[in-house]
Structures are given as structure tokens and as C-alpha cells.
Amino acid sequence: MNTMATADPIPELGSTATQATTDLLVLVAAMLPEHFESLLIQLSSAFPAAGLLIATENPAPARQNPSLRLIAAPATAVKWSLPPAIFVQAWRLAEEHHARGVLILGPGSDSLGASALHMLGNAVLAESIDLAVPRYLLPSHAGMIGSSIIYPLTRALFAARIRFPLATDLALSPRMAQRMALAAERITQPEPSEALLWPVNEACVAGFAMEDFDVGPRTLPQPAESEVNTILARVTGSLFSDIETKAAFWQRARRAPTLRPMPPQPPPADGASEVPRMVESFRYAYSNLLEIWSLVLPPQSLLALKRLSLMAPAEFIMADSLWARIVYDFLIAYRLRTINRSHLLGAFLPLYRGWVASHINLTAAGTGAEAHIEALAAAFEADKPYVVSRWRWPDRFNA
Amino acid sequence: MMQSMIGLFAIALQQEGTMLPLLPYTPNESVWRQMSQALHVSFYRVFSLLIGVLPGILAFFVALVVFALFGKLASWMMRAILNAFNFDARIARTGAPPDWTPATSPTAIAVRATFWVFVFLGLLVGVSAFDTSYAVGSAMTFSLLPYVTRFAGAVVLLIVGTLIARFLARSVLIGAVNA
């Protein structure tokens, strides 16, 4: 008997014909029901419903476009940053549903307009962009950690002119989603839910195409005031670690990104009342942490900090070159483990506060916030040879 | 005087471990003669003790050098084995807490630890040999070894305590400044 002759070697074509094609997989983080409902409406107007698949941990709203496809996704602790688990989830769902693009939307993404969502999604679907990052229009004194550390470092070392490298919303191509998922799965320390991934750095190393798009204002999820200290340490430490692992890439000379028109300036915000407190905090830290700073910073920087500590709050201005050197020296000390890393990042916080006070004073004096950030990033770029030479030949001058 | 001292030294070398009996007091002898006799006795005792412990001192250094050489050999073998097993990469994958990860690689730490363990063993053997010869060579019955081990333990405690104190002091200082 020949049972093989009765078996049909050709798979049933009928089953694939009934599967809906997915152009864009949208992962939506947990948010309030009314915000989620608003977001669904915007997604419906931004993309054709037939090619859209929305994966979310939010319950389906009562009033929902019936043509929208919603699937349940495991809960991910998305607060103000995207945890590694969401990238793993994005890749698995994209692979399962053969999506041509992935759009990850964090909490508060309902404040983005339909056109912004369309711009991000269309970038990966039609424009062959692997990583589309939004460029938010934020108030002058919002996102200071990103403006003072993340953006200048990413631009100088990775030659990537992405204004918000740690954006809460991203659009990824399938290969970019795969790369991020692999990076997420390699993380063991710190606790994976607390870890941060750097999509821009990953895309640079992989040679993928990336672009950022003006999406207008966005309501950013705000961490609690008491968490600012830990957030700075967490973000800075994670970025320094990522830079350390990618040292072989960024130490090569790269063509600087082409100049772009100045992005729209946010409306000026009043923070002058905070400056005296920050300056006093800086002075207090100078008198108590000088011994620790002297293990990390060269004499010229220490002298400049001494001069700063003698300035009145209204005149407190930190030079861009000084801040660039401080960040680079702390990056070097992080790599060399000059002191315990927790102590290093703790000693960095008062210096950051000093920079914030300086930035507020500059914007109050008439300098545009974005103009100052761009000048700061240019200072980081100009000083890149310094960090490359110290990385290759650590002199341990303070040992 | 010098000839008598040399003579005493020669006697001490030949009569290792023996003690010269105390000279009896004779009331009609001059003070200078009695002082000279007392000095002779003390010189003899000291030379006897030194000669008695000299083998122990040599044994201490020989043990230390031999064990250091063994430690060098063992550390070389350890390095070869750990490199063959990609020990550093395996440790990195297990995810050691980043704050406590030292600057040197795990392989280097293991190799150094192996070497110093052997040196420490040599130290113990050498001290034990010195202690034995010292107990034989001297009239005193107490052993030196417990004091050496206690001293070493105290030094280790001092070093560890200092490191912990410095770490905690810095943590408190930074926490207070950033509060």
C-alpha cells in the first residue's frame, strides 16, 4: 500500500488567503481608557484599518471602529522610557503577523496628532527608514537630561543628529525590531525591567537608515520629583555602559551629520526661581565633593568649577566646553572604574544641577533653548578627539 | 676580652642548645671580674639562641621562595585553563552586579588569587618551621605561631574594615549632598 500517494504535499493555500495582511503593527503602552480611545481614533484616521494591527494591554473601548484589529499584549512596565521587554514583544508579534513596520507608542501618545503618527509609520513603510524617531516640541526646561547629556553625546560620538534618542515613541523596520529584540535579550543586569536600550546607537552600529521627524508637542510622562536623582544615575549609567560596549565603532572618525534648519523654538519658560537653589546646591557639593571630583576631573576643570562656585546665582553661566569636558571625564572614569560607579554617578548629579541652572540663566537672558542645545552639541563634537585620546591612553593623572 | 668572646662564640656553635649554668656568687671576687663573667654569660645565651633559630629563619625564606615558585606555576596553569574556557565571557553572561565588578578581568583575579594563596601557604609553612626552631633553640616554652596568625588576622581585618568604612563614608557623603 502506498500511503504516500494519498498525502497532499502542497500546503493548503486557502488558509493563507484568509489571513489578514499586516502593514503596520502598533504596540500601545498602558494608558487611561479615554486616552486609548482617542489614540485609536487618530490611528484610524492616520492609517488604513485593513493593514493595521494594534497590540495593547489596554482593554478594548466600548466604542471602537469595528474594522480595527486589536490583540492583547502582555503588560510591559512602560513609564517614561521603553523597557527591553517591549522590543522583544514587538519583534515576536511582527514576525508572527509578518508586519512590514512596527510603531511603538508610549504613555501619553494620544497627545500626538494623526499626522505625526502617519509620518512615523509611513517612514518605515514607504521611505525605507529603519528607525523613525519623533522630534517633540517641548517646553524650554523639559527633557534636560536628554538635552544636556544624551543628545550631545549621541551626536558627537555616533554622528547621529537625532534630537531625542530616548524617545517614548518609535517606528521600526522589521530588521531594526529584530536587532533591538536581540539587544534586549542580552541584558541580564541591571534588572531587565529597569534596563534601558539605545535604539539610535544600535542603528548607527548596524548601519541602518534613521531619521527624526517633527511631530509637534507631546505630553511626556513625568516621573516623580523624588525619582529625578535615580533617573539621572540610571540614564547616564546606561548610556555610559552602551558607549563603552560600542567603543570600537565611535572611535573611528565619522562624517559629521549635515546641518539642518534650526528646529522650532519652544516658548520660553520661567525657571529663574529655581536657580538660586540649584546654585546653592552646586556650591554645597563643591565644598564637600571636591575630593571625589578631583579623582575624575583634571585641574583645569576643577579651577573652572571653583570660579563657578564663586559666581552669583544671576551670573552663573557654565561654558559649553567645560560641560563637555566634565561629561567626557565622567565617561572615562566610568570606564576605568576610578571610583565605585554608584558613587561616580552620585557625584555627577550636582554638576548636572549646575548646568541646568546655567541653562536657565542663558534662556532667561535671551538665548534660545534649542540654540543653546545645538551650541552645546557642537562643543561636544569639537572635543571628541579629547575623549578618544583619553580612552585609548588613560593617564590616570589623578591616581 | 675579645679573645674570650670569640672563644664563647666557638663554644656556643659547638654546644648548640645547651645552657651554661649560672656562675655561683663568690663574695671575695672583684666587681669588674663579676661584671665580665655576667657579660660572657649573656653573650653566650644570645649567640646560642641566634644559632638555634638560624636554621628556622633559613627554612622560612626557603619555604616562601619555593611556594612562590609553585604559585607562579599554578597561576600560569590557571590562566591557560581559564582562557581556554572563556571564563571572562561566561562570567559576563551570568551578569555580575555592575557596581561590584572590579576593574581587572575575572581571569586576572583568579590567577592572582591562586598565586597569593600559595605564597600564604609558604608563609604558614615558613613561620611554622621558624616557630619550631625557635622553641627548640630558646629556653622559653611559648610558641610564636599563634601570635603571628593573630597578627595576620588583625591586619586583614584592618584592611577590610578600612575599605568598607571608606565605601560607606563616601555613600553617606554623596547621599547627604544630593538630598
The pLDDT, as a whole number, for residue B165 is 95
Q: What residue of B is the nearest CA neighbor of A229? A: B178
Above pLDDT 70, what percent of chain A?
86
For residues A328-343, average pLDDT: 92
Q: What is the mean pLDDT of chain B?
A: 78
Residues of chain B found within 8 Å of residue A309, distances taken between Cβ atoms = none
pLDDT exceeds 60 at position A189: no
Q: Å from B155 to nearest chain A CA? A: 24
Whether the CB of B167 is below 8 Å from some CB of chain A: the reply is yes
Of A188, A342, A346, the CB nearest to B95: A188
- Residue A59 vs residues A20, A31, A66, A91, A169: alpha-carbon distances, Å: 22, 10, 15, 22, 20
Tally of domains within chain B: 2
Q: Over the stretch B146-174, which tens digit does the pLDDT of each residue have?
A: 677 788 789 989 999 999 999 999 999 99
- Residue A128 vs residues A50, A173, A208, A284, B4: alpha-carbon distances, Å: 21, 8, 10, 51, 105
Confidence band of A171 (pLDDT split at 50, 70, 90): very high
User: Are A284 and B173 an interchain contact pair (Cβ–Cβ within 8 Å)?
Assistant: no
User: Are A284 and B98 an interchain contact pair (Cβ–Cβ within 8 Å)?
Assistant: no
Residues B123, B158 within the same domain: no
Confidence band of A348 (pLDDT split at 50, 70, 90): very high
Q: Which range of residues forms the domain containing residue A161?
A: 21-250
Residues B71, B13 within the same domain: yes
The pLDDT, as a whole number, for residue A8 is 41
Tell whether A255 is covered by a domain: no
Residues A142, A241 within the same domain: yes
Tally of domains within chain A: 2
For residues A377-388, average pLDDT: 94
Q: Over the stretch A4-36, which tens digit does the pLDDT of each residue have?
A: 444 444 333 333 444 456 789 999 988 888 889
Specify the range with the lowest mean pLDDT, choosing from A89-103, A137-151, A296-310, B162-176. A137-151
Q: Say which residue, A333 or A65, is predicted with more confidence.
A: A333
Specify the range with the lowest mean pLDDT, choosing from A125-129, A265-269, B93-97, B132-136. B93-97
Whether the CB of A350 is below 8 Å from some CB of chain B: the reply is yes
Tell whether A173 is covered by a domain: yes
Residues B54, B99 within the same domain: yes
User: Are B174 and A229 an interchain contact pair (Cβ–Cβ within 8 Å)?
Assistant: no
> Which of the listed ranges A281-295, B19-33, B89-103, B107-121 does the model predict with the highest average pLDDT?
A281-295
Q: Å from B160 to nearest chain A CA? A: 16
User: Are A342 and B171 an interchain contact pair (Cβ–Cβ within 8 Å)?
Assistant: yes
Residues B100, B170 within the same domain: no
Residues A169, A30 within the same domain: yes
Q: Count other Cβ atoms within 10 Å, centred on residue B103.
A: 9
Task: Tell me how many residue pairs between chain A and chain B have CB atoms under 8 A apart.
Answer: 46
